[in-house]
Structure 1
Amino acid sequence: MFKDMMVTSGTMTHRLQQLEKRKLIERIADPNDKRSLMVKLTSSGEEIIANVFLHIFTWKISYFPI
């Protein structure tokens, strides 16, 4: 994931720790690779993402009416 976001693994670890501390994500063991973790949005994280997309969509409609 950190390669796709063009940051170091240390930076990604820090960002994930901050999101986890705020209870926006949870880390889950990867059943296929014991060395890896998967990241899942919590319900609070999903709510924030939904609000962000709503604001982006509303802004886009106001500037680019259909």
Structure 2
Amino acid sequence: MEWIYKFIAENSHAIYCWSIALLVDGLAIGFVISVGYFWDQAYRQGYEKGYKDAQSDNY
């Protein structure tokens, strides 16, 4: 168990940097996923509206 404390003491700066990097990457991936979700939702609504408008023009 002592080796964990020694490892943390010797590599604290690297652990801190990697934790910040993983946090930033996680937030970026979350942002991309949320933009993709809302983009698909808006596209679906626009497609359905366009489809309804096209059907109403045919009759």
**TM range, normalised to the smaller chain?**
0.3 to 0.5
TM-score by length of 2: 0.44
Question: Which structure's residues are more often helix, by fraction?
Answer: 2
Question: Which structure's residues are more often strand, by fraction?
Answer: 1
Determine which structure has greater relative contact order: mean sequence separation of CA pairs < 8 Å that are 6+ residues apart, divided by chain length: 1
Larger Rg: 2
